[in-house]
């Protein structure tokens, strides 16, 4: 029994503590890098920037021409989402625009006439349309509406609007 106490007081205990600290540091670094990778797996901006989006006036524009370098906020939503969630997200976009940030809303919907009728009742000026059939493999968020904060083409954070 005495030998066991001496063994755990000496260099063996220090070695165990150092090994545990290194394992903990490795685990924390792995979690940190997985979080950054997970943010970008939901959306592929390299492909998305080359896709055309429609404005309420019927003009088609490349998303890359609308997004500025620096910080951008994009609200993705579907017309089938809960109306209260959509309007809450649109109000957040309005507040971001009011504070001088680059913000826009993108509706994921297939029927342009239905979308145009919906947009007429909206108070937000920057609402665009992406056809669902065009973005099935590009946008993979499990829930919408989702507000994305991106900087220089990478997703920095995202928030589901509930």
> Which value, in Å, is the radius of gyration of the alpha carbons in the chain?
24
Q: Domain locations in the chain?
A: 2-41, 45-160
Long-range contacts of 5-13 (CB under 8 A, 24+ apart): none
pLDDT of residue 41: 59
Paired residues of 151 in beta bridges? 71, 154
According to CATH, the topology of domain 45-160 is Glutaredoxin (3.40.30)
CA atoms within 13 A on the CB side of 107: 28
Mean pLDDT for each consecutive 10-residue tract of the chain (162 residues)? 57 79 74 52 66 80 75 87 88 90 86 78 77 72 83 81 84
> How far is residue 63's CA from residue 32's CA, in Å, rounded to a whole number?
30
pLDDT of residue 137: 66
């Amino acid at each position: 029994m005495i030998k066991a106490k001496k063994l755990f007081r000496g260099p063996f205990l220090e070695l165990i503590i150092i090994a545990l600290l290194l394992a903990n540091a490795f685990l924390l670094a792995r979690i940190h890098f997985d979080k950054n990778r997970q943010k970008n797996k939901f959306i592929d901006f390299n492909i998305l920037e080359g896709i055309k989006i429609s404005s309420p006036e019927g003009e088609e524009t490349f998303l890359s021409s609308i997004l500025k370098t620096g910080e951008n906020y994009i609200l993705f939503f579907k017309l089938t989402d809960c109306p209260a969630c959509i309007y809450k997200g649109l109000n957040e976009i309005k507040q971001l625009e009011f504070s001088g940030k680059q913000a826009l809303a993108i509706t994921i919907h297939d029927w342009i006439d239905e979308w145009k009728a919906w947009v007429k009742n909206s108070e937000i000026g920057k609402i665009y349309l992406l056809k669902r059939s065009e973005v099935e493999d590009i946008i993979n968020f499990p829930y919408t509406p989702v507000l994305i904060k991106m900087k220089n083409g990478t997703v920095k954070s995202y928030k589901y609007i509930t």
